[in-house]
Chains A and B, each alone.
Chain A
């Protein structure tokens, strides 16, 4: 009874995550649950079309093609589970709050720890199962829909899908738990709590970039898995679970009937079949390696977890696990360079420290920036990884920077629309008197600084690809465009970070329309920019137009804010 109560309580903690703002926590949960069902469903159907549209589907082709699909399923399962584990970072182990509340109750420590572990395993299993349930039930039948045969053969195929994606998800989750617990064990409570925020942000950023990249970068052939020593290193963990599927499902696919194929297709089928059969021993060794590594990670995470849970951990007063290292010093330095006005400086410092210190704000910015970076890598791979001087400029490369800047501004917009703390916002409103304009300017300055820093960091890459003059033009236009985006993004935000009224519309309601409009506008801007970059005058004219537009948006935005302030009697 008591154990069940504790487990239920700990499960609640996973759902009632501190990252979701109080005001729209249940809306966020509903959207997350809907996404968890609909995205895998659409992805599965989309990936299955190629089987349904194959009139002469053969076993060898199916064996090789399902490996590619499985690569995406396993990578997504692994990364999404790792992202969720990172988002639940604080709830993974007993928190100082749990220690203070539960530690004084007549409960044996072991009972609390057992309940926590049970809740953790239940949550991870429930999440991994929900994520993979629909693809597991739909993908195997759709891949073999063209074959006639015993329907019972579907059972091992479904099982193979469930085992491989389930193991990948559990592995992703366990890796984050293992990392957290090993760091806690090695560094000690004090050092760990000092660096936990930085590590968590870094992990979240990396996982999100990889997650956005996964469907694009993994859609290629996966035959490298059939030969030892081939394939990119970072795909090795995913390949273990894909190999598990191939070993379990391959034997079933291998006995499916081969249709009467034309000579050319028959030869290709024989080649694929032979390649697959030859690769089976290597796939088996990859699968065994996966099981071995998974067992090791599980053992490490369980041992470290139980060792850390031997005593209650109370956070020393005033110590915050959510801080990112060195933010105060860096933000002070940036503020000293950019402004001397106290209210502007206050706005700038508040933005930097809120985004660095407040988990929900940090997640907004991290998620958008990670998406932007993934889009940049996808759209401008040559500029980033294979620069060749003075070659023609592709629109996709121009669009890459624009999308990156849009993502940054969108992330900051989501953050500044959300109050750092609703209660503190009331106090802030009293302290801030009527200097809203300067405060807003400071916040905008922070976002513009992020835009400029991004453009400057991309400049060397573009310079290596197109030469200095082309890159400089693109950089100037990027800064002007970024400035315009910042003005547009913050125009209707009266009190950034300190609004006491939660935002009424969310990305979930207007997101699809916005996304479509953004794609069209970005493509049009890319075409105009390519034309403008051909001459110096064109570049200057385009940048100047963007700056004038930014100034106009600022003027009208501030005029509206002033009208509101006058109507409220804040200014005369």
Chain B
């Protein structure tokens, strides 16, 4: 793989469960330096696509290539090149934060000495230094998310796959994350940013894909998507695209809550 050809390409990806297509014909490309927003309502197939990209799930149809090499279903060399933050904070609760990071570093075959310093520095910057020796079972959701972020970043990946990375983070940490993603992109890393927080995607991403019921309904830059809504807001455009009517839905919920009959 040459450094200049590090493009992730997804070709007509399909995943079916019992005949039902949870992801249908998804195609896109992600180039170095690009931040691609991956938007969609709950259950639209965002996380499933990311799991297929990381090789956790095999697609029913379609192909994934990285630098022109087929990496569908997982490829050891490809796994060295990406970092992944899953949607759910999957961590071993009986390990401490540092033990978990040491485990991941060891399994990635990263040099012990330099890595120890790097882990310490990352723990410090993410505000986890004091809790590093505590058991993960005692961590808050935000602390778990930060641990996952450090694990995804510590080997300096070319490609960062983030599945709702802001989940559980406080406002300050979200701001840091936003800047971090931007800086990494400027330094040539490709970033796939799946989120349901439209504001984050709007501020960060150079390009956005909107998914609905497993299908790509829009693939374009943020400005072109804004034009879909009369107000020019990405949030409204997203609701329109996902065929959601937030105002009427909110009224219905309020009716259920306040109606005591």
- Which residues of A does B touch, CB under 8 Å? 1-2, 5-6, 9, 12-13, 16, 22, 97, 99-109, 311-312, 314, 317
Given A12-B94, A16-B94, A97-B90, decide whether A22 and B135 contact each other with a Cβ distance below 8 A. yes
In the complex, which residues of chain A have a beta carbon less than 8 angstroms from the beta carbon of B88?
Answer: 100, 317
Given A2-B107, A5-B106, A16-B94, decide whether A104 and B55 contact each other with a Cβ distance below 8 A. yes
B74 → chain A closest CB, angstroms: 7
Question: At the interface, yes or no: B92 with Cβ under 8 Å from chain A?
Answer: yes
On whether the beta carbons of A22 and B137 are closer than 8 Å, the reply is: yes
In the complex, which residues of chain B have a beta carbon less than 8 angstroms from the beta carbon of A105?
Answer: 79, 104, 107-108
In the complex, which residues of chain B have a beta carbon less than 8 angstroms from the beta carbon of A317?
Answer: 88
Interface contact tally, CB-CB below 8 A: 63
Name 8 A/B residue pairs within 8 A (Cβ), A-sorted.
A1-B109, A9-B92, A12-B95, A22-B137, A101-B104, A105-B107, A106-B108, A314-B51
Among the listed B56, B94, B108, B137, which residue makes an inter-chain contact with A103, where contact means beta carbons less than 8 Å apart? B56
In the complex, which residues of chain A have a beta carbon less than 8 angstroms from the beta carbon of B94?
Answer: 12-13, 16
Among the listed B74, B79, B103, which residue makes an inter-chain contact with A5, where contact means beta carbons less than 8 Å apart? B103
In chain B, positions 58-92 with a C-beta closer than 8 Å to chain A are 58, 74, 76-77, 79-80, 82, 84, 86, 88, 90-92
Given A12-B94, A22-B137, A311-B58, decide whether A104 and B106 contact each other with a Cβ distance below 8 A. no
Among the listed A101, A104, A109, A311, which residue makes an inter-chain contact with B91, where contact means beta carbons less than 8 Å apart? A101
Among the listed B58, B79, B93, B95, which residue makes an inter-chain contact with A104, where contact means beta carbons less than 8 Å apart? B79
A292 → chain B closest CB, angstroms: 39
On whether the beta carbons of A2 and B76 are closer than 8 Å, the reply is: no
In the complex, which residues of chain A have a beta carbon less than 8 angstroms from the beta carbon of B57?
Answer: 312, 314
A6 → chain B closest CB, angstroms: 7
A259 → chain B closest CB, angstroms: 58
In the complex, which residues of chain B have a beta carbon less than 8 angstroms from the beta carbon of A5?
Answer: 103, 106-107
Question: At the interface, yes or no: B54 with Cβ under 8 Å from chain A?
Answer: yes
On whether the beta carbons of B107 and A103 are closer than 8 Å, the reply is: no
In chain B, positions 153-188 with a C-beta closer than 8 Å to chain A are none
On whether the beta carbons of B56 and A2 are closer than 8 Å, the reply is: no
On whether the beta carbons of A100 and B135 are closer than 8 Å, the reply is: no
Among the listed A101, A103, A108, A312, which residue makes an inter-chain contact with B92, where contact means beta carbons less than 8 Å apart? A101
B136 → chain A closest CB, angstroms: 11
In the complex, which residues of chain A have a beta carbon less than 8 angstroms from the beta carbon of B79?
Answer: 104-107
Q: Which 7 A-B pairs have the closest CB atoms?
A: A16-B94, A106-B79, A100-B90, A106-B80, A5-B106, A104-B84, A104-B54
Docked complex Cα distance between A317 and B86 (Å): 13
On whether the beta carbons of A2 and B84 are closer than 8 Å, the reply is: no
Closest to A107 in B: B107
Docked complex Cα distance between A5 and B112 (Å): 13
- Which residues of B does A touch, CB under 8 Å? 51, 54-58, 74, 76-77, 79-80, 82, 84, 86, 88, 90-95, 103-104, 106-109, 135, 137
Closest to B82 in A: A104
In the complex, which residues of chain A have a beta carbon less than 8 angstroms from the beta carbon of B51?
Answer: 314
In the complex, which residues of chain B have a beta carbon less than 8 angstroms from the beta carbon of A1?
Answer: 106, 109
Closest to B57 in A: A314
On whether the beta carbons of A103 and B91 are closer than 8 Å, the reply is: no
In the complex, which residues of chain B have a beta carbon less than 8 angstroms from the beta carbon of A312?
Answer: 56-57
On whether the beta carbons of B107 and A100 are closer than 8 Å, the reply is: no
In the complex, which residues of chain A have a beta carbon less than 8 angstroms from the beta carbon of B82?
Answer: 104
In the complex, which residues of chain A have a beta carbon less than 8 angstroms from the beta carbon of B95?
Answer: 12
On whether the beta carbons of B77 and A106 are closer than 8 Å, the reply is: yes
On whether the beta carbons of B107 and A99 are closer than 8 Å, the reply is: no
Docked complex Cα distance between A105 and B81 (Å): 10
In the complex, which residues of chain B have a beta carbon less than 8 angstroms from the beta carbon of A104?
Answer: 54-56, 79, 82, 84
Docked complex Cα distance between A107 and B75 (Å): 9
Docked complex Cα distance between A232 and B94 (Å): 44
A161 → chain B closest CB, angstroms: 36
B135 → chain A closest CB, angstroms: 7
Closest to A6 in B: B107
Closest to B140 in A: A423
A255 → chain B closest CB, angstroms: 53
Closest to B106 in A: A5
A485 → chain B closest CB, angstroms: 34
A67 → chain B closest CB, angstroms: 43
B48 → chain A closest CB, angstroms: 10
Among the listed B55, B84, B92, B109, which residue makes an inter-chain contact with A97, where contact means beta carbons less than 8 Å apart? B92
Docked complex Cα distance between A99 and B58 (Å): 13
Docked complex Cα distance between A103 and B92 (Å): 14
Given A5-B107, A108-B76, decide whether A103 and B135 contact each other with a Cβ distance below 8 A. no
On whether the beta carbons of A2 and B135 are closer than 8 Å, the reply is: no
In the complex, which residues of chain A have a beta carbon less than 8 angstroms from the beta carbon of B76?
Answer: 106-108
20 extra interface residue pairs, beta carbon distance < 8 Å, beyond A9-B92, A103-B54: A2-B109, A5-B107, A12-B95, A13-B92, A16-B94, A100-B88, A100-B90, A101-B90, A101-B104, A104-B55, A104-B82, A104-B84, A105-B104, A105-B107, A107-B76, A107-B107, A108-B76, A109-B74, A312-B57, A317-B88
In the complex, which residues of chain A have a beta carbon less than 8 angstroms from the beta carbon of B91?
Answer: 101
Among the listed A12, A22, A102, which residue makes an inter-chain contact with B107, where contact means beta carbons less than 8 Å apart? A102
In the complex, which residues of chain B have a beta carbon less than 8 angstroms from the beta carbon of A12?
Answer: 94-95
In the complex, which residues of chain B have a beta carbon less than 8 angstroms from the beta carbon of A16?
Answer: 94
In the complex, which residues of chain B have a beta carbon less than 8 angstroms from the beta carbon of A2?
Answer: 106-107, 109
In the complex, which residues of chain A have a beta carbon less than 8 angstroms from the beta carbon of B74?
Answer: 103, 109
Docked complex Cα distance between A1 and B112 (Å): 12
A143 → chain B closest CB, angstroms: 43
In the complex, which residues of chain A have a beta carbon less than 8 angstroms from the beta carbon of B137?
Answer: 22
Docked complex Cα distance between A103 and B106 (Å): 15
B18 → chain A closest CB, angstroms: 10
A448 → chain B closest CB, angstroms: 33
On whether the beta carbons of A100 and B86 are closer than 8 Å, the reply is: yes
Docked complex Cα distance between A100 and B57 (Å): 10
Closest to A9 in B: B103
Docked complex Cα distance between A147 and B188 (Å): 82
On whether the beta carbons of B56 and A99 are closer than 8 Å, the reply is: yes
Closest to A15 in B: B94
On whether the beta carbons of B55 and A103 are closer than 8 Å, the reply is: yes
* Chain A CB within 10 A, most for which of B56, B77, B91: B56
